[in-house]
A and B are shown apart, each in its own frame.
Chain A
Amino acid sequence: MAIAKKSVVWGVFAAGGTVAAFLFPALIALFGLVASGTVPEGLEYANLHGFASTWIGKIILFFVISLALWHAAHRLRVVFHDFGVRKDKIVAKAVYLVAAIGTLLTAYYLFAIG
C-alpha cells in the first residue's frame, strides 16, 4: 500500500476510534435505559426525528456513524489476520465494502428523514 493511502486509512481509523471511544458508551447506556423500560425524553419520536431533521443533527450523525464504521472495518481486517485468516486482499475488500454500504445507507436515510 502506498504511504499516502495508508496514512488516510490510519487517519480515518484514529478519528473513528476516538469518536467510538468517547460517544458509544453513552449511546449504549441510552439503549440500555430503553431496554430497562425508561425511554428518555430525547428518544421520543418527535424529538429524535426533529434532531435528525436539522442540518447539524445530520452532520453529527453522519460523521459519528461513518467514522465508527470505517474504524470497525479496519480493525476487523487486522482481527481476521490475528485469528489466522491469511487472505488479506479478500478480507480488506469485504470489510471496506460493508463500511461503504453502511456509509451510503446512513447518507440515504438521513436524506430520507428530510
Chain B
Amino acid sequence: MSRNPYVRPVSPTTWYMRNGRYIKYMLREVTCLLVGFYSFFLICVLAILAGGSEERWLAFLASQQNAFWLAFHVIALLFYLVYMTFDWFQLAPKAMPLQVGEQKVPPAFIVAAHYVAWAVVTALVFLLAGVF
C-alpha cells in the first residue's frame, strides 16, 4: 500500500499573494505591459510623422494635452521607475557579474554605474529634445 503523495496546495492564479517578495516580482514583471504600450505609442508617433502633415501632428499633440494623459504618464513614470528601471539596475550585477583580474567587481559598484549611466542618458535625451 502506497502512502498518499504530499501535494502542496498552490493556486496557479493567486500564488504570489502569499509573500511580499512574490508580489514585488509580479509588479516588476507586469511593467512589460507599459513597455509594450509605450512601444506602440511610439509606433503611432511614427505613423503620424509618416503622414507628412504638420496639422495631424499638432492635432495629436492637442489630443494629448489633458488631465487624463498627464495623470497616465505621471503614474506610469513613477511605477516604471520603481519597478522596471531601478529593479533592472538592482538585478544587473546578479545577471551579469563582472570580474577584473582576480577581483570581483562589487555589486554595489555595478548598480551605481547603472544609475550614473542612466542619468547621463536621460540628460542626453532631454538635451536632444530641447527640454533645456
Inter-subunit contact B29/A45 (CB<8 Å): no
Most chain A beta carbons < 10 A, residue from B32, B38, B57, B76:
B32
Residue B50 at the A interface, CB < 8 A? yes
- Interface residues in chain A, defined as those with a beta carbon under 8 Å from any beta carbon in chain B: 14, 16-18, 20-37, 39-43, 45-49, 51-52, 61, 64-65, 68-69, 71-73, 75-76, 78-79, 82-84, 86, 98, 102, 105-106, 109-110, 112-113
- B100 touches A (CB below 8 Å): no
Alpha-carbon distance between A46 and B128 when the two chains are bound, in angstroms? 14
Which B residues fall within an 8 A CB radius of A? 11-13, 16, 26, 29-36, 38-43, 45-47, 49-50, 52, 54, 57-58, 61, 64-66, 69-70, 72-74, 76-77, 80-81, 84-85, 88-89, 95, 117-118, 121-122, 125-126, 128-131
CA gap between A61 and B50 in the complex, in Å: 13
